[in-house]
Structure 1
């Protein structure tokens, strides 16, 4: 992360994450996927931040519920892909793949990542090595396929996997320990996975939020990013299968998994 980027993580609802990204030079802030406005507004006051962008990775209410209050209190516009009418009035500015995000001196890029929904987006701040993934990619997991197909989701995940390994994954929910339990059911001796579990449990034991994983760690330990890995294919009795089909089987098993 560059010296000009300041990142704040907010736990909201039961397991949601919202993020505030601040440009230190200008004080301008973006909030990503907020569901509860009060903690966002309190943070902005504490860090002397001025909200200039409200970003949503997708239209589900647990990622957009804070929008009306934040707009009313700050006048900041909502930026997102077009979403269906049941989700409210929709974004003020619609985004598509490749669009720039300008936040003071910080520069990001919109990545279209269909799968969880057909219009899911991720926000990639290359110079700062920050990737806001919403419900496309979680720590050791990925989102359910509510609208898209397994082939679409696998393509989206491999697109993210190709980004630099030192990129921080900033996901929409803390499902980490449940995801780790499932990952261990497929790959019980993965050293990176076991080490990550110990790190997460140690942080939670003292009441702290889990750390954000890197894409490099996810590539080594997250089974949803490893559908083309012969070891994962072997564990599923699918050696040599199309990775999209392997991914579909991993997703099916996770949907029915109980620790």
Structure 2
């Protein structure tokens, strides 16, 4: 069984540690800054062996050099993005499988927020690290990709088992919830989730990670194919990707 540690970084970023107590391997997913990660490693007396990068934005990679210098960890990232990532020891492609902390990791193309963005799925332990693709009650802005591209990416993630733990890159959930309420104000699962989010944030607790099943019930960006959502937007006959694009545009203006 792998241990998962969520590490707040910068103002609203998250990094994640995954640790196998049997093999004593430890991986870090994304490195917004090194200091909180090194502190967490010291607190647990863990040695970092691997760093996984989801995409090239500075708030996900700017601590890599310092973390590598301190730990000597191996760096993994997308081959297609290698020219704008820190130096990679292992360049991976979509659908590639490799061993990580004694378990299988599968690379998923989740382009949209950026082109070349990847997620890492650990099927044996039901975890997926999504960076700025699928987020808690949201998804990343389309800085490089298109709405159909991001819809395809989210649709791939939506096929994972609903009990999958979704480890995403930011504490944006409260603002995402305010927007989600404008799309489905009567969704009982969303109403319940918003109350839980408000309670968590009032106590200073993270709302990340989340469960994929919960995202499927409440995240408007995963629900663009639902008839009720299409009707609410006046797009009953529209293609799913077009509805997703309308939701993404509305969130950008929210």
TM-score for the superposition, normalised by structure 1: 0.94
Query: Counterpart of 1:33?
Result: 30
Corresponding residue SS for 1:209: coil
Q: Deviations over 1:8-52 (max 9, x none)?
A: 001111110100000111221110111110111111122121211
Q: Deviations over 1:202-223 (max 9, x none)?
A: 1222222225321111111111
**How many residues matched?**
253
- For 1:245 and 1:77, locate their aligned partners in 2 and report how far apart those are by CA, in whole Å: 40
Aligned to 1:162, which of 151, 159, 162?
159
Spell out the pairing of 1:23-102 with structure 2 (5 A cutoff): 23-82=20-79, 83=81, 85=83, 87=84, 89-102=86-99
Query: Counterpart of 1:125?
Result: 122
- Structure 1: 5+ residue stretches without partners: none
Query: Counterpart of 1:203?
Result: 200
Give the Å deviation of 1:84.
6.4
Residue 109 of structure 1 pairs with residue 92 of structure 2? no
Corresponding residue SS for 2:156: helix
Query: Counterpart of 1:241?
Result: 238
Q: Deviations over 1:166-205 (max 9, x none)?
A: 1111101110011011110010011111111111111222
Report if the CA contact (8 A) 1:27-1:48 is conserved.
no
Report if the CA contact (8 A) 2:4-2:19 is conserved.
yes
Aligned to 2:19, which of 18, 22, 27?
22
- For 1:210 and 1:89, locate their aligned partners in 2 and report how far apart those are by CA, in whole Å: 29
